[in-house]
Structure 1
């Protein structure tokens, strides 16, 4: 992010005017998948390694920048994106933008999502802006993994020379023919989304604090805020003043929005009460410094913001979906009655508490972080210890792995799509040794359809929807195996599954 003090504004009252069109009213968009934090952090580790090997930075005109671009482009090319490298010149050095188009969708209605890829020369730039770079990259890769085919065309971008004055994004917008510029109907920008003393800010698209964006920006702001509302996290406005790469887009009249966790500004006492962290201390004490390394990231903020990016891409992209409209339901279990799920089916579970059971889960939380949730629908669900107990740790999963298996499910020849609701919650004493996994087990093998690892960060429980193609098992008898683990050092872990369905 460019250097100058940003004014952080008070919480805004949302308006419903000038909303950016999303999906037709008759069809709600599919829910976004949960983006694994571990994947995002793996990209940050690669960016750190690139900087370390190239003089300690990834700045414009330096070898670390081009190596960063090559890394991101390689991931996108392998995932099936159509990538383009656009060059420009600044300060006697060649700079580059990376543009990646996901095939399909209405190219006359393009939703663009971007982040700047460069650092300052002083350091590796892992929060500024490896965090936005990695979050947008992993969201783009999730689009490919899910086979997502939205109504709108999706375009992703990684900008060069932002730190020198939005040079790359200004070059891109300024060199688009007017006919092409008019096809970009929305732009999402993510610059610093993992600050170590984080705030939760959205660009003031509706102008409620003065100086809002072009018509349609209010709709983007509302969608970004809605993810945090679902987590019970308050979001405040931040100035929509052209400081980051959304600037050239709003100057061209393109609706825009984005998220931000704070830079050199200091967290107020009120904000520390609201979000935790240290009052009177900068949101990012390593802003534009050599200490902006992989140690300069708050995992919870990075995880929440990455999931918010995916939520926005899926919601604003429209209802194209990941498969044809659902056909007939061939199997459904809302867990309201006993249909024959078997805990510890192989007699190999090692968990000493919090065994899987079908029951009525009692909500629990710890210091404001939701852990066990009430059922997604009705009153019944599969959970790791349904009771609340005297505190959140009484009936959580402890001491190892636990499992539960469905009754046999005979799939007809046309069976195609499995869907279910799930949550996985933990505190910051968790690690990647902990997990929630769901597998389809057939007569000739199995397929993992969900693999969510833990992490050393508070992860609030939230029901999410997962879909998977099970057409390879059509005509066979299968079972669904659900597994969870508190497998490393003792940690507070809860998991659940509900509303399982298979359709043709």
Structure 2
């Protein structure tokens, strides 16, 4: 990796906590769906590739630099793994400083050839060391992502292309050669380029290239979506991300100069971690992100496993999401929940509910009436629904009392395209209710919220009946969201019941 200048300021984590999920797994659509969920990339597999790069360097003069035998041996190792996995590989040669250099290009068969998503990392290191973090880490992470594509027999909407660049350390030579020698018609087919250079620094930061220009160095149109997608993964595991300068100092440079949207991740080089960053991410303030940057100690011991694991999963998440998530056909259901089984809904997700009874749960609701007014309904189909107190019986014993009750879905990863949500609902109450009582359904994403339903009560008998609410979720395409439901008996004590069933999200 060539010397980089980090942006002095950066965006804070996007709505951290709203999309919280365990850090050990990539975001995944829950429940039955035709959408292929992004995989959890095994850290052990990525480390196995790094060990191979270390052995190659050790056996070839201690480095994997341009023009040296260690570089070509690294390329041959990567190519062998890709060939065996079913990729169409091409070695592109060039000459620089009197030595032959090589790029390795690997295409996954299928996808729209006019819509190419490209993912790359430089494979060379400097002559002074084995280059395991810089940039064995990025090279190994995208290799394992490519192999995960093969294991999943992925059929993405876009055509996937991976690249390992030569001579980056000497001035982006390999990637520049590729871009400059690709016909303009082929360049126009590349709709996005993802770059990963140093993703396992031992004292790591978590940085994303500033695609949206929030720190003053944005990329071509479309780069903001790439940045947002990468940030969405880290938001889901509650890891804050800051901007790093998008100034062309790694292999994305030749792409953005030709107007191709780009983005990527970076864990830091010779810059020093600030006190605020150490408080945010852990590690040691005042020390370099990578004390072995461009030196002989950039060995297999110079890797932070947590950073490498998180970034590898984020790469896979971006490839699956931006590539079209398994090629879900238009018109197909991309998510559904009929509440017959537990798909990860969490009651009282913010810990702020005040209701003392009638709290939301997934259960078998019992039809309940009071003086001819239906308050609670049986599910639309099957035996399960989301309901405010499923016990039934005495109408006054299990309705909402005392304030607000809420429940939230597990993360839902949305594909690209035009998206529509549909959900069945009812709200029933007596004339002792008021306009402060309500049922509300919202969709919460990394960059905003859409209200699907906001139904207020009134001082009148309202008999519950199943109805349907819909919402356009296209603004959340390619993102991860949750569905948040809340209801309230917020005024004086009143009989209020609510329920939901048959949640679906479709793409047209």
1:360/1:95 CA distance change after superposition, 3 Å: closer
1:50 and 2:56 aligned: yes
Query: For residues 223 and 306 of structure 2, what CA distance do their matches in structure 1 show?
Result: 26
Asked whether the 8 Å contact 1:28–1:319 carries over to 2, the reply is no
Selected match of 1:210 from 198, 216, 240:
216
Query: For residues 306 and 199 of structure 1, what CA distance do their matches in structure 2 show?
Result: 15
Selected match of 1:179 from 174, 181, 185:
185
1:359/1:332 CA distance change after superposition, 3 Å: closer
Structure 1 stretch 6-15 or stretch 55-64: which is displaced more? Answer: 6-15
Partner of 2:263: 257
For the pair shown, which has the larger CA radius of gyration, 1 or 2? 2
1:93/1:378 CA distance change after superposition, 3 Å: farther
Report the Cα offset of residue 12 of structure 1.
2.7
Partner of 1:144: 150
Query: For residues 362 and 61 of structure 1, what CA distance do their matches in structure 2 show?
Result: 60
Deviations 1:29-53 (A, max 9, x none): 5320111000000000000000000
Selected match of 1:135 from 131, 136, 141:
141
Q: Secondary structure at the match of 1:88?
A: strand
Partner of 1:125: 131
Asked whether the 8 Å contact 2:11–2:243 carries over to 1, the reply is yes
Asked whether the 8 Å contact 1:34–1:464 carries over to 2, the reply is no
Asked whether the 8 Å contact 1:148–1:322 carries over to 2, the reply is no
Deviations 1:466-495 (A, max 9, x none): xxxxxxxxxxxxxxxxxxxxxxxxxxxxxx
1:94/1:379 CA distance change after superposition, 3 Å: farther
Deviations 1:383-435 (A, max 9, x none): xxxxxxxxxxxxxxxxxxxxxxxxxxxxxxxxxxxxxxxxxxxxxxxxxxxxx
Partner of 1:12: 11
Asked whether the 8 Å contact 1:30–1:315 carries over to 2, the reply is no
RMSD: 3.0
Structure 1 stretch 245-254 or stretch 314-323: which is displaced more? Answer: 314-323
1:158 and 2:164 aligned: yes
For structure 1, the 5+ residue unaligned runs are 16-26, 337-357, 364-376, 381-461, 466-504
Query: For residues 5 and 183 of structure 1, what CA distance do their matches in structure 2 show?
Result: 29
Query: For residues 320 and 127 of structure 2, what CA distance do their matches in structure 1 show?
Result: 35
1:80 and 2:86 aligned: yes
Give me the TM-score of the superposition, normalised by structure 1: 0.63
Runs of 4+ in 1 over 6 A off after TM superposition: 322-327, 358-363, 377-380, 462-465
Asked whether the 8 Å contact 1:360–1:379 carries over to 2, the reply is no
Selected match of 1:301 from 289, 307, 312:
307
Q: Secondary structure at the match of 1:249?
A: helix
Deviations 1:326-362 (A, max 9, x none): 89x9x997259xxxxxxxxxxxxxxxxxxxxx99999
1:334 and 2:324 aligned: no
1:209/1:362 CA distance change after superposition, 3 Å: closer
Report the Cα offset of residue 211 of structure 1.
1.9
Partner of 2:294: 288
Query: For residues 166 and 241 of structure 1, what CA distance do their matches in structure 2 show?
Result: 13
Query: For residues 205 and 360 of structure 1, what CA distance do their matches in structure 2 show?
Result: 34
1:273 and 2:279 aligned: yes
For structure 2, the 5+ residue unaligned runs are 15-32, 350-359, 364-409, 414-508
Give me the TM-score of the superposition, normalised by structure 2: 0.62
Partner of 2:459: none
Report the Cα offset of residue 6 of structure 1.
1.4
Deviations 1:143-200 (A, max 9, x none): 0000100110000000000000000000000001101110001000000000000000
Q: How many residues are treated as equivalent by the alignment?
A: 337
Asked whether the 8 Å contact 2:208–2:266 carries over to 1, the reply is yes
Alignment of 1:78-477 (within 5 A): 78-321=84-327, 334-335=341-342
